[in-house]
A and B are shown apart, each in its own frame.
Chain A
Amino acid sequence: MLEKAIYGGRRYWVWVCFLLSLIGIGFLAYLYQFQNGLGVTGMSRDVSWGLYIGQFTFLVGVAASGVMVVLPYYLHNYKKFARLTILGEFLAIAAVIMCMLFIFVDLGQPLRVLNVILHPTPNSVMFYDMLVLSGYLFLNVLIGWTVLGAERKEVPPPKWVKPFIILSIAWAPSIHTVTAFLYAGIPGRHFWLSAIMAARFLASAFAGGPSLLIILAMIVRKYTKFDPGKEAIQTLGKIVTYCMLINVFFLGLEFFTAFYSQIPGHMHSFVYLYTGLHGHSQLVPVMWLSSILAVIAIALLVFPQIRKNESLLAVACVATFFSLWIDKGFGLVIGGFVPNPFEKITEYWPTLPEALITLAVWSIGFLVLTILYKIAISVKEDVVFDKYGERQIK
């Protein structure tokens, strides 16, 4: 099936070459970082995790969100998601690959990364994170490839795939819970030390991932003969709405605990992020942008008449995605390190090499996504010849 990715029109190849050039530039930036050390980034003794780990955290959520289309279809026979599931699974694969790459580029000694496997440490959350991410990647590749291959041959998928699918449905929330545990169990960082950290992660994942999937489905519908389905997109829109509302509600809960208790350690990170602390306010406009985008997104999503309008739904999804990308991909990580354990402030902003490497990893993810989607769509275009037809093999 891989050969389907090397046949494409002009637009396809222009897009692929654009991604390859971004990857090339970022790779050179990575060589610069590998040679000179992580000092080329904006990280410091106080803010020891930055954009890379933030992006990893956000993307684990996007990867986990694959379950939002797989669960209704496979567990509850929600037929309308039939044409979306493969897109969700392949998005999960691309996202997990990006996660692993972000961790790799963040390591000080990346060539020693196998030490995590050679010296297993059951008390370390990071050890489990590696296990669950690898497992999830394997599951999605296995399931996606098998189901798509069966569809191509116009036969029902083999029976042994079903238990793996059930396993992947249980596995998806676990990858994001484990990632939340990286933060939620750290005694010195009060911004992260919250019981609902995992719940917040899941809520934002199930809002952010499907919103990206909606955009991708609309793009697929526009540029190919394959239509994932108007109703499927609408259902996903409802999922994004509810999960975004829950996510904002959870953030409100965090604000309440911090500010009603008036405990300085709990408040300080929020104050730094949203109003500035001791004259340091570099992140304030960024965090307010995230909040404003969230308000716009919810305003558009909550009203069914607006949500049914696909152009406005697209705007709402873009707003949701970027709001969560800022909040989880940046604010969450930096907020944990500011102020530092001595109540002093060191600010953080990514540098150019850091940004280029980040862009390259995103481009690699999008390249994987493009190739996988090209294959899936080529197969489905052959099989599903009716735009809204239900020609699905049982």
Chain B
Amino acid sequence: MSMNRREFIKIAGLSSILGIGGVAGVSALKNSVEASQTSKNPEALTAKRWAMVVDMSKFASEEDFQPCIDACHRAHNVPHITDNPKHEIKWIWPETYEHAFPGNEDEYRAEKYQHMPFLMLCNHCENPPCVRVCPTQATFKRKSDGIVMMDMHRCIGCRFCMAGCPYGARSFNYKNPRPFIDESKKNPEFPTRMKGVVEKCTLCYERLAKGLEPACVEAAKEVAAKKGTTPGLIFGDLEDPNSEVRKILSERFTIRRKPELGTGPSVYYII
């Protein structure tokens, strides 16, 4: 059989690619852990759709909401960026009415509403635009309970989700966050993030998995216990008609941020 050099190189190249590629492909598909070996923690808190109600009557000043922010940022090793405000990272923080609900401004609104410290966080939307735009599914909506999650391992840092979020809930690690984490306050049980990935509130999925409520909710309970009132943050399953959040929603008037965008936010505010 006669073959010229060009044909030989073509055939040799093609067979090596198929051979190596085939072996690599087959071994990559073979799992070392079987699906049957993994399971959920029986103590985990479960819901069909988690939601949070923020009762503004319980948040009057910094001493009311700062413990919630501190609890969250400590539990998750959120860095405190001091050298450049443009690079700040925040998972939960306060805004005044005109900034929390832009488009709802009214110069004649009572002073006390204008200065209320509304806690902002990721709304874990029913129909999240950030999930829609993510090209790698690094941010995704958990089917089990509706939490909009972050997979830090997969994020390529394209920041499309930051452009897509109508609520400005996401922060990007513009540099290595570790120098900006207070060593004495670091939580050794939760990772930090590295530069180049986006982060945001993930509704304390790691605490829910252990049967604990989110850090901010727990902090709000502690503040309420000290003051002798009911907590300012109420957490529960929106699809459970007997949950506390559903009870509140059936009795009180609540507003959500930018509901006209069709995102279906899960954070409700009682003014």
Contacts and interface: CB of A to CB of B under 8 A. Distances in A.
Contacts of B36: none
Contacts of B172: 38, 43, 45, 48, 108
A3 interface: no
Most buried by A among B89, B135, B168, B258: B135
A126 B89 contact: no
B40 to A, nearest CB: 24
Contacts of B9: none
A115 B154 contact: yes
A37 B176 CA distance: 7
Given A108-B157, A343-B99, A187 B263 contact: yes
Contacts of A341: 102, 165-168
Contact of A119 (B136, B167, B168): B136
B174 A43 contact: yes
B155 A188 contact: no
Interface string B66-96: 0000000000000000001011110000010
A42 B174 CA distance: 10
A342 interface: yes
Contacts of B168: 45-46, 340-342
Contacts of B136: 112, 115-116, 118-119, 121
A343 B102 contact: yes
A49 B100 CA distance: 23
B175 A124 contact: no
B146 interface: no
B15 to A, nearest CB: 24
Specify the main secondary structure of chain A where it touches its partner.
Answer: loop
A109 B133 contact: no
A149 interface: no
Contact of A188 (B99, B135, B167): B167
B99 A37 contact: no
A117 to B, nearest CB: 9
A199 interface: no
Interface string A116-130: 101101011111001
Contacts of A39: 84, 87, 174-175, 195
B156 A107 contact: yes
B103 interface: yes
B171 interface: yes
B53 interface: no
B160 A126 contact: yes
Interface in A57-87: none
A343 B129 CA distance: 19
A336 interface: yes
B87 A108 contact: no
Contacts of A42: 86
A106 B155 CA distance: 13
Contacts of A187: 129, 164, 166, 261-263
B134 interface: yes
A49 B161 CA distance: 11
A276 interface: no
A124 B98 contact: no
A194 to B, nearest CB: 15
A45 B88 contact: yes
Contacts of B248: none
A116 B135 contact: yes
Given A37-B196, A108-B172, A108-B173, A48 B163 contact: yes
Given A45-B88, A265-B103, A188 B160 contact: no
Given A116-B135, A124-B132, A342-B168, A108 B159 contact: yes
B197 A108 contact: yes
A108 B167 contact: no
B162 interface: yes
A342 B100 contact: yes
B158 interface: yes
Contact of A121 (B89, B100, B137, B176): B137
B99 A342 contact: yes
A21 interface: no
A280 interface: no
Contacts of B165: 188, 341
A285 interface: no
Interface in B116-130: 129
A48 B162 contact: yes
Given A45-B171, A124-B134, A186-B133, A116 B95 contact: no
Contacts of B163: 48-49, 186, 189, 336-337
B50 to A, nearest CB: 22
A215 interface: no
A45 B263 CA distance: 21
Contacts of B167: 188, 341
The 7 tightest CB contacts between A and B, nearest first, are: A108-B157, A188-B166, A108-B196, A44-B86, A39-B174, A37-B195, A126-B135
7 contacts: A38-B175, A45-B87, A45-B162, A115-B136, A126-B133, A130-B135, A188-B261
Given A45-B87, A48-B162, A342-B95, 12 more contacts: A38-B172, A44-B174, A46-B168, A107-B156, A107-B158, A107-B196, A108-B196, A108-B197, A121-B134, A123-B132, A126-B160, A188-B261
